[in-house]
A and B are shown apart, each in its own frame.
Chain A
Amino acid sequence: MKLKYLLLSILVSGSSLISCKKGYLDIAPMNVVQDKDLFSNEAGMAVYLSRIYSQMPFEDFKYSPARQFFDDWLVTPGANEGASLGRDAGTAMTSEGWARNGPYWGRAFNLLRDANYLIENLPDYKSNFSQEIYNHYIGEGYFARAMVFYALAKRYGGMPLVTSVLKYPEVSADKLEIPRSTEEETWNQVLSDFDSAIIMLSPVSPKRGYANKYVAYGFKSEAMLFAGSVAKYNKITGLGDKTGVRVIGFDPGTAAAASKKYFREAYNAAREIMKSGKYSLYKKKWSANDKEAQYQNMVDMFFDISSPENIYIKEYQYPDLTHGFDAYNIPRQLMGGNGYSAGNCPTLDFVELFDGFAKNPDSTIKVFDNKGTYTMFDNVTDIFANAEPRLRANVILPGDVFKGEVMEVRRGIFTGDASNGISPLRVVNGSAPNYTVSGPSNYNEVDAYKAVGAFAGKKSLFLSQNGTTHETVVLPNGTTMNGGGKNGPFTSDATCAMTGFMIRKWLNPNMPQTLVLEARSEQFFILMRYAEILLNAAEAASELMLAGEAAPAGDDFQQIAFDAIKDIRERAGAYPLTAPLTGQPGLEIIRKERRKELGFENKTLWDIRRWRTQHSDVLNGFTQSDGAYYKGLYPFYSSTTGKYFFDAGLDEGRRRFRLTEQEYYLLIPDGEVAKSPVIDQQPGR
């Protein structure tokens, strides 16, 4: 009781002290770092830039649409672009930060302020630095600003262009309101900030992790490709309610010219990097006609910090700055101590983009022979034995080796008669096989499993419920085999190779098993690499040719595009490019190459959004605007023959991807619209 009064009196006296008159305490606090401390030398600037870089909207191991930036939980790049599915991921991107953290908005303006502050105030301290390093620091300010405006523009369209430090509370808040500009003005701001950065930044990063001229060229080419594509393909537009400004989409009168301008900027920026000769495709272990070497080369390039292909990387280091990519995405068979695994399972749709295995005329994988029964394989690895090396570097295929272990991927064991071949499994109650969305979704619904129809009284399919509950089969040689493989796929546990595949890209092949934990991974993420520059140049060249534009002096669009794709295919071990890339079919080839090369790198999602094809591309009979599904490839073992066969079909979980056309522009956070007299919501929404 005494204590209560004591606390009360402390509270009372505490609150009365707050009312001290200001004036004689009005000196700069000694314990707060001042401009003069930071802007005085390179060490101080390193502190300032660390703060800037820690807020940069880099889409790396700490980015997912569900949880936005700076959050490494359950990060599974690829799961929103259709390249993969996962237990905790796999939806179209219709908003951002829905799982936590909210949309990218407030954090963008924090960083804009820091960048603007640098650009406005560093000139007062110019004498502390050499001209070159001073220029570089100013360039860093423009680079950060360009990155923020780019990140915002690709999400929201037109943005409030905050290009100076807003002085609050000196100026009242209502005088500091800035409305959204048009989308075109916003992209022009992105362009001009990247150009300012390119002029000011050093050709070589003065310190590891800093940007440089070529980093800015790289992101400029990516951003301008985005802008050019939106100007050309976007159909969603409108004027803001509050301002009457065209905050999304382009004015039909200026769109075509803007598109050409941006594609040309994208092309020229990519060409500057190509002409500099500073970067090249990673081919340290590459060797012509040696698929194993080509595969190993493409695995190694993601871990070699000295790779000449790296233009810009985000480094991590334990224990200061870490992520959890390995813990969340490790194959089930090698599950780490936190109990996560296989969060990122490539779809068959992604795998089918690659070369080197039998396909049907519609380019889907061929799993049936000419009699309509399954093609049988002696080994589970045979189906992909001659696959393009790049596929194996991206994806762990059934039976592939990872960390010295064979990755066992098996949906179940078929014990029925195979003497006349095995008929399609997805059959219910003796009806015709049904591989459409109305067919059986899980293999525990089919006749062979339920012992009905043609299998009446003869259960012929054995599955595993999860990693510990198995139906087992005694094989002819007397050994016992679990229905599902060590990596599944399982009937009712999705922490497995749920599509029949697991991701290999980015997984550290040398990480000791005991360290496969959350917040323990420290491999770097490649934010910009030379292959993307080649793809940017090729795509921009192709678009400019389609628009009837002339190439800059000394360049041949046709040749540049052809060489870029040829080189990438050669390094990947894909089928060589033979015919010139002309017209719309040529552009489609370039786009497909881009999806194959840049899968799981947080690029493809933005590609299908800027092409405006995400809602309209037909996927297995549906479009995302109506709701679409991806496919898996499910390996089965035939116990009577000792051979494997594969069933290709819609994902068992029937994860539905749905995106309507207007969702290319994410909603402005409602609170921001409600509290501001000038910030417009997306027109029509």
Chain B
Amino acid sequence: MKKIFYKILVCLSATIIFFSCKKDNYPEPQETLKGSVVDAATGEPVLTDQGSEGTRIRLRELSWKETTVPDNFDFYCMKEGIFQDTKIFQGHYNVRIDGAFIPLLRKNIQGDTLADETKYVDIKGVTEVEFKVQPFLKVEWIGEPTVSNGKITATVKITRAVSPADFKEKIEPMGDYSDDMLNVTDLRLFVSEVPFVGYRDWDNRYSTESDYGGNSFDAQLGQPVTLTTQGTIPAGRTVFIRAAARINYATENIKRHNYNEAKRIDLP
């Protein structure tokens, strides 16, 4: 009885195997898109968190006609402000990025396009793109962080990377504008045990956050601000730290931080 059962099973599975015999009619995706996100004013890379609150790259294949509206294909920028995808189908694409900078695609409240600074590229072989954007804030280290009693003290400087006038000129036509959008809401010193430190990877036992209401941070713009981690990081640990700040403005419904580069700290 059992034998017959197995024979039937084999017959069935053979049938199933034959069903999947049709060859896939597309070559595997092997084109590469490489890119970088730089500050239009300075040419410096725009550093970001690595995750859904960081810089998002959205590809839409316009040469694909089977769907009337192309599907979104999203991936996220590396923390250094560069991105790469090596498995893309050859074709014509719209490449859009969103992050802590003036949106490249700006629409008014009725949905009419005011400006479209996204890129339309043919991706073939290795295609490189560079996005020049206007980040909201620039976060810089001042001097080297110091360590004492398991606490790290670091000094940072926050400046506006886009002038309030420029911000208003570009954001106001999108509707529902208020000057409050320009205010810095929080400044953080993220601590993590991995180099990918940021909003999606931080140890909240040690990380520090300062919140600011209204325009109360304005006086500290351009001034050195000293931040100290919380708790006591055990001796001998290696941690990575990064400072981040954001303004009261959401791109694609997320208020994103601007970052400085991660630093490795070996606690003595």
Contact = CB atoms under 8 A, between A and B. Distances in A.
Interface of A: 1, 3-4, 7, 235-239, 241-242, 244, 251-253, 431, 434, 436-438, 622, 626-627, 660-662, 673-674, 677, 681, 683-685
B223 to A, nearest CB: 25
Given A239-B111, A252-B109, A252-B176, A684 B252 contact: yes
B4 A252 contact: no
Contacts of A251: 109
B204 A661 contact: no
Contacts of B148: none
Contacts of A7: 8
A241 to B, nearest CB: 6
Interface stretch (B33-41, B65-73, B121-129, B164-172): B65-73
A674 B69 CA distance: 10
A403 B157 CA distance: 63
Interface residues of B, number: 28
A660 B204 CA distance: 17
A238 B109 CA distance: 9
A437 B209 CA distance: 14
B130 to A, nearest CB: 24
Interface of B: 4, 7-8, 11, 52-53, 67-69, 71-72, 107, 109, 111, 175-176, 204-206, 209, 230-232, 250, 252-255
Given A239-B111, A241-B72, A252 B8 contact: no
Contacts of A241: 69, 72
Chain B contact residues, majority secondary structure: loop
Contacts of A434: 231
A442 to B, nearest CB: 15
A386 B206 CA distance: 39
Nearest to B186: A626
B231 to A, nearest CB: 3
Given A253-B109, A436-B230, A677-B67, 4 more contacts: A252-B109, A438-B232, A673-B71, A674-B71
Contacts of A431: 232
A436 B203 CA distance: 13
B107 A683 contact: no
Contact of A244 (B71, B111, B176, B232): B111
A7 B72 CA distance: 49
B23 to A, nearest CB: 23
Given A252-B109, A626-B209, A677-B68, A438 B230 contact: yes
Identify the 4 closest CB pairs spanning chains A and B, nearest first: A438-B231, A438-B205, A684-B252, A684-B253
A194 to B, nearest CB: 29
A662 B253 contact: yes
A1 B111 CA distance: 69
Contacts of A436: 205, 230-231
B235 to A, nearest CB: 12
A235 to B, nearest CB: 8
Contacts of A677: 67-69
Contacts of B68: 242, 677
A238 B253 contact: yes
Contact of A252 (B71, B111, B175, B254): B175
A26 B167 CA distance: 69
Given A239-B107, A684-B254, A3 B205 contact: no
Contacts of B8: 4, 7
Contacts of A253: 109
Contacts of B72: 241, 681
19 contacts: A7-B8, A237-B253, A239-B107, A241-B72, A242-B68, A242-B69, A252-B109, A253-B109, A436-B231, A438-B231, A622-B204, A626-B209, A661-B253, A662-B253, A677-B67, A677-B69, A684-B254, A685-B252, A685-B253
Nearest to A239: B111
Nearest to A243: B69
Contacts of A438: 205-206, 230-232
B181 to A, nearest CB: 12
